[in-house]
Structure 1
């Protein structure tokens, strides 16, 4: 836990009750602090909404919704909410404080968890989520950052800031909410979330715990969202062969692209997880889903004649004692009548069978392949309208002539973002399907951030997706924003400084100043290299130059090895002084002492010559007008600035 003493909230007393001690974490919507509840004398976590969001009614409502959603739950695996209120212009939320780490931090430290560890964590998360689903709440932002692992072993779900009441079609609004790596296909394509969307996010989390990586990767959020909508999550064992097949099947069930193929809620997935745990704990035991032995049929069944179906002993025919009288005409008539009745009954039954068969065949054709047949609407998300129309037509549907349009932060402009009815619907063949084509992301005004601080820029750009900051050395103060850039439809970087608008949730990169490069002029090579290493630059001695102002062996300046911005980790060249440059001694023979002295001193030399000692020299410098006969050193040789040149002269 890091304490930021420059945070103005540190030491503040909220509502006369909660004294803020230190900052725990900072998110896009709020900052979480450790505070002391002075009334109950206990430590709490207090979540305070960012001040710049106070005027946004939707953010404030979402923040208050978190309090209401969490307050409706009372479960050992859900973070308790104690209080909610308003402090000045910012809403705050008082929650249970859990000293420990998040699941994200655990994955960063250990990367891959064992199947037993992953199942233990998932069991606790599912237990808390089952309580939320039972209360009619969809979390909508499940990810490792929102799973808290307390020091005492407790595991809890937190951050219900995106939670909503669970209905058949819980929409997210105009923009996708949640974290892109854990968004379900129906959230990406239709913006609709229910309990099965939470199950999808848990399936991705289980995959990440078992393999140490997320199933989908991409340089842009749009690429990851497209994979969620169109690809099938691979089995964890394909990345980690030690994962048992039972957990493979659990991940595939939870991450099925069709929400109808997933567990209906957290309770259903929890029951299956408990079965898997029992099977893995005792591999030799019976399987979790055993074949049921149906009860035997009854020992006897009543026949139409009233018998039991057993062999019957018929009574003996009575023997007549008198002569037998033949009645041929009556017997023949009776037999003919019986045979005729049987033939009529047979014809009626045959006709009835034929009629029933024809009706069954007709009904089957009508609802199977005829006008009354129902079929699933194909998923054409991400296709161009022509290809999508062809796919829908071949499936037996009629495509509306005029497509609709809608904004989408993940589907490229001009491609299909969804259909109406949507891809999960089953409708009659021949029904009209309307294509909804993406207009690209909603265009929002770009705030002016160049010249301001990086912190202020981060707060102002909350509607966009901030990428890792680019830093470089500059004459500006450290932390000053030098540039802001984004990408166009082709993914090419573009300068956003001065741009009027940019796409919602699109990637934005800030270039921030590291401050000026240290001044190394006049330092020794070793001292210059040490100063540069302090700002993560490498200095190498690359050459020497003469310098009038820098002593030999000291650095004159540094030079960049490559063009462009200078960044940490780069190497610079150090130019070292060789001292003053040598000067060629001019030929001053024949000039007077005064003229030669003036010329040599003008070049930076010192001048000397023998002085007169005669009595007459005491009154004037008579040799100054005498001609120079030689110099020492001789003319044409070189000497450094400041060297002494001795003149010789001849007395006339």
Structure 2
């Protein structure tokens, strides 16, 4: 099948799986240029109407479903004796392979997979379809983590006239429900039982029931209890074990009543409020003591009940026999004797002729070209069988004889028939299309055709059209025939677009930025100007469309924005702020902080004074940004002034004034009644005087409260 073009549309690439009924191939849909999976009925069943019916049933069952967790059916058809179904190709692994590789799985992963399977079953059940063969082999996990349920080969549509298929046990015995093993009606709850076993296997790495034969396993489903999941894997939360215990009840009435109910339980079982919930308890299962009924025979008599016995003569034949004439019997006897005598005479004549045939010795023709061998045999008085056995044999060239039906030196009668075995050309493989694949994907396809990895060479080059690490071209070309033992394969792999690392242009001068862009093979599309309160005039403040350290292809156009300096509508204003110590002649730490259009909390002065003085503060005001000046004395905010843009522009700013500082008339050491200590007395007096040093003008130069505004 490899290389065959099915229905003139599907080119078979490789075999990727198979089951009891069919083989599965990966193929390319030439019409739609996509990969598909094609299930082909095994040849031994192509004349079996029951299998063909079951095979078609799969297509009908799955085609009626449309769900993100069900493998989609694209096409179904027949070409000669090839019955096939074209379906969605899922790139990934089946769940059985994942379980073998790394079971037990993480609880979160197992619950996520089971939830998606449950969602698919819910959709199928809503469409009156029971899968009847849920097992890890039929669960595909895509590389994106999406779960896909496949193989509805024994699914049965539930209708009012046909509820179950009795008389045969269909499915995989390790995942049977008890009612399935009995061969009685199987419904939605049977699928949920099988899903419970799949979840059990994902979390424990083992099956709940094992036996020496399918019958013994089926009996265990009916009669025995399984080892509880948490006994095998204590890391399983109780809430998750409860889901398994309920789905695997032998009595269907004690299981989940629908896939939706089970999915709701799965979606909530890992919530903190449920993880440590009590273990689910059930009454003793009545079915656990039942004995499995005898398996009903699938064979049926091919003869209808009302068909008469073929050995019985009908009344008409008996009557006709009585009417036979009496002279017939002697005539038959005489004719038989004459015929026997004629045959004997012929045999005697043939034997005499054979006795007179001369004998010849068979020559050896092995390792001779076919034409020379035929010529030698005929010259030796022998006949060559026209049915020459032609097959590829390692070490034997095409057209060279490697076997003869009578060994060399054998004495035979003249004209005896000799059959030759002749070497044929080695069957060639067809090179798959590797374009757009990664090296690992290509290697897997080539190894499937027995190509040695050492014969595969890799070249790399930049390419603007093909993503990095994908194959651009190949040699031999796709579709070419090749000998896996002699071929040399060259794969050219894309390194992606040729790129450079975009530098940061921010803070550079215009000329520096342009020079840097051009040195990297990039182009300057535009230089824009924009006013800024923060960036110095002539310096780059923005770059577009790529930020620093991003990969950029050569030839890409870059736009830079250069600062044109402060906006035209700003107002520069010098604001004179009066400051004074707490007490005249005594040191106080003065700190003046201001906020304007150029920034926040900028320090104008930070020094110690002993007498009143004025601090000039140069402010820059914008239409949408007033200025604020804060005066701190000895760590406290004592005055806050607001200078508005409008007042500064119109010259209507009220200059602040303060009262001169008081002169301390109380000894520094303090006395009784002034706080009990030097520190306490100073604080009390400072509070009183701070309240008097403010300025209460209504334009924002208001009187401050030094006591309540610690820095």
- Under TM normalisation by the shorter chain, which class is it? 0.3 to 0.5
The structure number with the bigger radius of gyration is 2
TM-score normalized with structure 2 length:
0.40
